[in-house]
Chain A
């Protein structure tokens, strides 16, 4: 039996406390008065102008766009003050959205790790995989975070539309809907009641599978020699769950992620989100496995298991890129205004995170994990995993932020605080769940194959 070390417990608690402080700081400083926002904008504008005066030639093209913009702004000179007010109000709202969005991005990121791990676990059962039973308890530990994690995500989403001022989903704002034909057409689907009901159905279904698969897994440990009934039950519910999962995961990605841009839609978004969560889940499974192995707690896990996990990290990274590009290229090529705005916002305002994430999520895993020997070196896989996790956090960031805070994004105290908060919570819940059962599913019918797994 594994017991959570006091150091790890303290560490996760410190993360949670630091995180709460960061999040609280974010919320307290995000409410600016309209005058403050106007002063801020005026300062930004003059700082901008100053730079142009200093280097008039170097920023020639910049100057051109700048003067073009100001020309169009001046065109309605009589409406200038009104327009400034509206713009300042818009920016004020974006600033207020930032702590909400930061919290939501981090909550989603960690929830999706647990959800991906649950799907991966179900695939192992449905496929009757022989290599992985040694890792089942690690996966079960990670999926323990799913219920609290998903409830938190749903709670933040609902709170933003009830307690907050529609800080994440504009379609929750009745004022916006009243002036928006497109959202009115979608309001049968996009309304708060339906959103909550769907969310609870997803979470309930996922939780039921997680609950029963865990129960059968532990019951199988204590079964008589030759009695595999619990394993067979687990196989059956895994197959059923995978069907439920692929529908609900897809709908979840529309509801919880895609609907922050309620005008925009992409038909392969669910797959794209799934690929991202699968990479993160396998990475975290590998990391937790290597951590426990380094403590001598999983003596039968060998290099071949790590090699297989690293192969999945490599493969899912390529799969993610494939889906990312499939989505991007069709929209870029056809260049239809209502679709392409999604990428224009990201390329104009999010250049570094948008293209940086491609380097982190594709180029690095491709080059680092290509060599088969490197996939067996533990510290190497950990480093590659850290890069992948950072890259996929930024991926989620790019999904939520442009619609909520626009060009007012930054990675500062609210974002880092939110990451720390959920990282601490995740570590605490996962490692506490790991202490609840022996780390080896000793009576799984494939456990011996897994122990002798050799590539």
Chain B
């Protein structure tokens, strides 16, 4: 498979040009491997045809876990292990003292949803601390946009197409080496 190991890097200097280029490249049915941008480009995921994110679902699940942890924790700490007299109403029942625990329940829900969601996002993006950056060109962290497409059988035609869409730099990269 020659196509899989060789890719074309096209560099753009404007996000609107990039968006138009993505649409044209997809019309020709060339496979876009990845796009590197210095900032999130609104609508790029839809233009690339990426499946919608499922992170919201994980966030909901993590929130539910956080809520449960808070309920179990407060029940153990304040009712079971060392019963507390809450607001002069020593009933020692979770449900009657529940209003006092609502802020904790809320905070734990948010805490779990936010932190676990970030960790999930890192894992899913294959990122971890001290990982070497996979970024092919450091300029994409500043003001350039890089589109990586799989090289087909007719590389010249692909080069022409990319040049037409306004790419300022086009290079053929052999990933095998």
Which residues of chain B from 80 to 102 have a CB within 8 Å of any chain A CB?
Answer: 86-89, 99-100, 102
How many interface residues does B have (CB within 8 Å)?
9
**B56: which A residues are within 8 A, CB to CB?**
371-372
State whether A333 touches B102 (Cβ < 8 A). Answer: no
**A328: which B residues are within 8 A, CB to CB?**
99
**B102: which A residues are within 8 A, CB to CB?**
325, 329
**B88: which A residues are within 8 A, CB to CB?**
335
Residue of B nearest to A333 (CB): B87
- Decide if A2 is an interface residue (CB 8 Å cutoff): no
- Decide if A370 is an interface residue (CB 8 Å cutoff): yes
- A 325-366 to B, binary, CB cutoff 8 A, 1 in contact else 0: 100110011110000000000000000000000000000000
Residue of A nearest to B57 (CB): A371
Q: How many Å lie between the Cα of A372 and that of B59 in the bound state?
A: 13
Q: On chain A, which size bracket covers the interface?
A: 10 to 19
Q: How far is the CB of B57 from chain A (nearest CB, A)?
A: 9
Partner of B100, one of A333, A370, A371, A372: A333
Instruction: Count A-B contacts at CB 8 Å.
Output: 19
Q: How far is the CB of A351 from chain B (nearest CB, A)?
A: 14
State whether A334 touches B87 (Cβ < 8 A). Answer: yes
State whether B99 touches A332 (Cβ < 8 A). Answer: yes
State whether B60 touches A333 (Cβ < 8 A). Answer: no
State whether B89 touches A335 (Cβ < 8 A). Answer: yes
Partner of A329, one of B60, B89, B99: B99
Q: Per DSSP, are chain A's interface residues mostly helix, strand or loop, or mixed? A: helix
**B60: which A residues are within 8 A, CB to CB?**
370
Q: How many Å lie between the Cα of A370 and that of B60 in the bound state?
A: 9
- B 133-168 to A, binary, CB cutoff 8 A, 1 in contact else 0: 000000000000000000000000000000000000
**B86: which A residues are within 8 A, CB to CB?**
333
Q: How many Å lie between the Cα of A332 and that of B102 in the bound state?
A: 13
Q: How many Å lie between the Cα of A370 and that of B64 in the bound state?
A: 14
Given contacts A370-B60, A372-B56, is CB(A335)–CB(B87) below 8 Å? yes
- B 47-67 to A, binary, CB cutoff 8 A, 1 in contact else 0: 000000000100010000000
Partner of B99, one of A333, A370, A371, A372: A333
- A 365-382 to B, binary, CB cutoff 8 A, 1 in contact else 0: 000001110000000000
**A325: which B residues are within 8 A, CB to CB?**
99, 102
Residue of A nearest to B56 (CB): A372
**A370: which B residues are within 8 A, CB to CB?**
60
**A372: which B residues are within 8 A, CB to CB?**
56
Q: How many Å lie between the Cα of A329 and that of B98 in the bound state?
A: 10
Residue of A nearest to B63 (CB): A370
6 contacts across the A-B interface (CB closer than 8 A): A333-B86, A333-B100, A335-B87, A335-B88, A370-B60, A371-B56
For the complex with contacts A328-B99, A335-B89, A372-B56, 12 further pairs of A-B residues with Cβ separation under 8 Å are A325-B99, A329-B99, A329-B100, A332-B87, A332-B99, A333-B86, A333-B87, A333-B99, A333-B100, A334-B87, A335-B87, A370-B60
Closest 6 interchain pairs by CB? A333-B87, A329-B99, A332-B99, A335-B87, A335-B88, A325-B102
